[in-house]
């Protein structure tokens, strides 16, 4: 089975195997439905579709002069669970930030890692159950329009000797 969107910027191919369908996704110049200003220059994904869920063992995309790579898993056999591990390198902040939020801007390169997971009773509530961890590094850059007061960062307990003791609940 081969499916594509109207402008052929995203293609999905499914091939039957003994216990699952092999899945290949490819695209270029694809505008994401969840953020219409966000454009993916090139996308390659390989995975498996089963009666109980979807696994993308390889996800590689190029966008905003950078790279994103990782894996994603979605299961729906007993409720819904979603997890992802994504690493990103050298994303151009001057191009990326306005695509995400027109009130934000910046310059430099963004690299880091994004890990999230969650379990919920059903797919419709899976997004509400997500918890994640993000590590970011900006090189040769700056952010504009980012409110540090509103950013929710974990509190950290610093001992009298100046060493970090861990997150405070």
Q: Provide the token pair at 7.
A: 């402008």
Lowest mean pLDDT among 40-44, 98-102, 105-109: 98-102
* pTM greater than 0.85: no
Q: How high is the pLDDT of residue 52? A: 92
**Mean pLDDT within 28-41:** 88
Q: How high is the pLDDT of residue 147? A: 64
**Mean pLDDT within 18-25:** 94
Mean pLDDT of the chain: 85
Q: How high is the pLDDT of residue 125? A: 79
More reliable by pLDDT, 11 or 101: 11
Q: How high is the pLDDT of residue 128? A: 78
DSSP the chain: -EEE-TTSSEEEEEEE-SSSEEEEEEEEEEEPSSSTT-EEEEEEEEEEEETTEEEEEEEEEEETTEEEEEEEEEE-SSSEEEEEEEEEEEEEHHHHHHHH-TT-EEEEEEEEEEEEEEEESSGGGGGGG-EEEEEEEEEEEEEES--TTTS----EEE-TTS-EEEE--
**Mean pLDDT within 136-163:** 63
């Amino acid at each position: 089975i081969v499916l594509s969107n109207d402008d052929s910027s995203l293609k999905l191919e499914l091939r039957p195997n003994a216990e699952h369908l092999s899945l290949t996704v490819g695209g270029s110049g694809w505008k994401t439905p969840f953020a219409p200003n966000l454009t993916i220059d090139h996308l390659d994904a390989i995975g498996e579709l089963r009666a109980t869920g979807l696994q993308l063992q390889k996800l590689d995309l190029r966008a905003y002069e950078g790279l994103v790579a990782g894996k994603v898993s979605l299961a729906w056999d007993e409720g819904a669970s979603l997890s992802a591990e994504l690493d990103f390198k050298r994303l151009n902040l001057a191009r990326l930030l306005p695509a995400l939020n027109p009130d934000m801007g910046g310059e430099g390169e963004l690299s880091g890692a994004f890990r999230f997971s969650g379990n919920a009773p059903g797919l419709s509530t899976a997004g509400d159950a997500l918890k994640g961890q993000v590590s970011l590094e900006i090189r040769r850059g700056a952010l504009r329009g980012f409110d540090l007061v509103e950013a929710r960062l974990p509190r950290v307990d610093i001992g009298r000797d100046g060493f970090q003791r861990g997150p405070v609940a």
